[in-house]
Chains A and B, each alone.
Chain A
């Protein structure tokens, strides 16, 4: 059984990393967006492996369903042509790559050698317990987040609206 979860982790992890690299490297924005959908689905698979089925379902609904469609709509509304290929990467990209690689390697080494006092077996509780935590202990942050969503919705409408008197 641990053998199986090990293999599943390797497969899903490589799907996530490869599709995330393709998001950055593809020249066509729409290919990047589709590769990002693959990455989100892989993350949902990881959530299932971590016994967080509710989070996995929400990941599929929100990221794969809503945010990806929003991004693909924005791509179709804005880019008519691929544009100048010189403008594909920023000129700071070749400095940023080694810095990001060094930071990633450093953090991976630190995080894989630290002792977390972690349990070996899964601890994530069932959906009922998550829901009761969300609506009892974390009710106030929950309401604040809904307020933030409302403000973001009004702001997005205002920003994307055509201005008549200008």
Chain B
């Protein structure tokens, strides 16, 4: 494997560990944490492509900064929802968020 392929393989492994966490755990805060893991995996892939691309050097790094800002926004909103839900229902399981079920 070339170095780029190693970094991409690690990135995919981390991404699917995060995806499993999102699907497997019930706690809302842990789901937010696993989404952060998935975003980190994508950042690894972006920086690796940026480092080994013959033409677009550095562009991946610029996109990583956008991902950072949006990850911070997502964490703030997700944790605010968790705190509002805890205040309303005294529990944090994602199964209890079923008000909008049709």
Residues of A whose CB lies within 8 Å of any CB of B are: 5, 9, 13, 16-17, 20-21, 23-24, 29, 32-33, 36, 39-40, 43, 46-47, 50-52, 54-55, 58-59, 62-63, 66-67, 70-71, 73-75, 77-79, 83, 87-90, 92-93, 96-97, 100-101, 103-104, 107-108, 111-112, 114, 116-120, 122-125, 129-130, 133-134, 138, 141-142, 145-146, 148-149, 151-153, 155-157, 159-160, 162
Contact = CB atoms under 8 A, between A and B. Distances in A.
Interface of B: 1-10, 12-21, 23-27, 29-30, 32-34, 36-37, 40, 43-44, 47-54, 57-59, 61-62, 64-66, 68-77, 79-84, 86-87, 91-95
Contact of B32 (A66, A71, A87): A71
11 contacts: A43-B40, A58-B65, A62-B68, A70-B76, A87-B26, A104-B13, A120-B52, A129-B58, A148-B73, A151-B73, A152-B73
A54 B76 CA distance: 23
Contacts of B81: 159
A20 B49 CA distance: 22
B10 to A, nearest CB: 5
**Nearest 6 Cβ contacts at the A-B interface:** A152-B73, A93-B24, A104-B16, A96-B23, A159-B80, A156-B80
Contact of B72 (A23, A51, A66, A101): A66
Contacts of B17: 17, 20-21, 23-24, 100
B23 A118 contact: no
B32 A155 contact: no
B47 A50 contact: yes
Given A33-B33, A55-B64, A89-B26, A112 B73 contact: no
A130 B53 contact: no
B59 to A, nearest CB: 7
A106 B25 CA distance: 23
A58 B95 CA distance: 35
Contacts of B73: 148-149, 151-153
A123 B50 contact: yes
A23 B21 contact: yes
Contacts of A21: 17
Contacts of A162: 87
B25 A88 contact: yes
